[in-house]
A = this chain, B = another copy of it.
């Protein structure tokens, strides 16, 4: 991709510095360049993923609460960000953790499905770079012509860029005005192939949306606040990959869902690792719905949300007995 000589030099500098443990000035005279250049090369090496610095996320799964949640909710793994213990901004903490977890879950050669939303974009934004050329990042749902920077295609592309991976976008609106048109578009080869390829993913990254006037669906004009409220009455519990699910985690039977171009829930459930990240405490019910529907195998949440989930699971168990 890039030109040879520059890449080569960056790699050599990174190799001598990180692998051999030389100092920057030692690297500088090995390569006959100034130390300042070495410093610059090393920054580039980190930014391009030639060197990887990763921190183990063990501590966040080792937590007793995380273990109990895994059991209670039958999830493969749970990470809990210890709220307000670390930084001023609590949501950043969750995103940083999610980004690390994500990078830990990615394997070479993987195909990764990425949905969209503020959470996903925040993760993409703080994610460190990696060198995973044979990875493919695919977009899970259609686009919204939003004024926001976290459009589905943006999320996909940004993550692909960070990973040095291939990004596979598809350009269809998330929601159309008639069911017939949506059906027709889904049958288009370009779109059909993209949607069919989703079930081949090894890993999915998404968050869950709330069914309220603050939802991106409302902000981006896909639905009006009134329509949203109506859907809520009809049993809408959450939004996943642009689609509305009920409390059981199944697709809600409504006109909106039939007009959407997105990854079917069945395709999502086939994906081996489904990483769900939830930042806001307000998304408690939506998250319960997603878990009930088996849309999540790996979960990253804040401590407060974790406690609520655990209380809920405990209460349900008690009621059942």
**Chain copies in the assembly?**
2
Smallest CB separation, A211 vs chain B (Å): 32
**In the complex, what residues of B have CB within 8 A of residue A55's CB?**
14-15, 18-19, 45, 50-52
- Report the Cα distance A87→B27, complex, angstroms: 10
Which residue, of A12, A56, A58, A96, has the highest number of chain B Cβ atoms within 10 A? A56
**In the complex, what residues of B have CB within 8 A of residue A96's CB?**
19-20
Interface string of A196-217 (1 = CB under 8 A from B): 0000000000000000000000
Which residue, of A14, A16, A52, A54, has the highest number of chain B Cβ atoms within 10 A? A54
* A316 at interface, CB cutoff 8 A: no
**In the complex, what residues of B have CB within 8 A of residue A20's CB?**
86-87, 92-93, 96
A56 near B86: Cβ-Cβ < 8 Å: no
Interface string of A35-55 (1 = CB under 8 A from B): 000000000010001111111
Supply 30 A–B pairs (Cβ within 8 Å), ascending by A: A8-B59, A11-B58, A11-B59, A12-B59, A12-B86, A14-B55, A15-B55, A15-B86, A16-B86, A16-B87, A18-B53, A19-B55, A19-B100, A20-B87, A20-B92, A30-B86, A45-B55, A50-B58, A51-B53, A51-B54, A51-B55, A51-B56, A52-B52, A52-B53, A52-B55, A52-B56, A53-B53, A54-B54, A56-B131, A58-B131
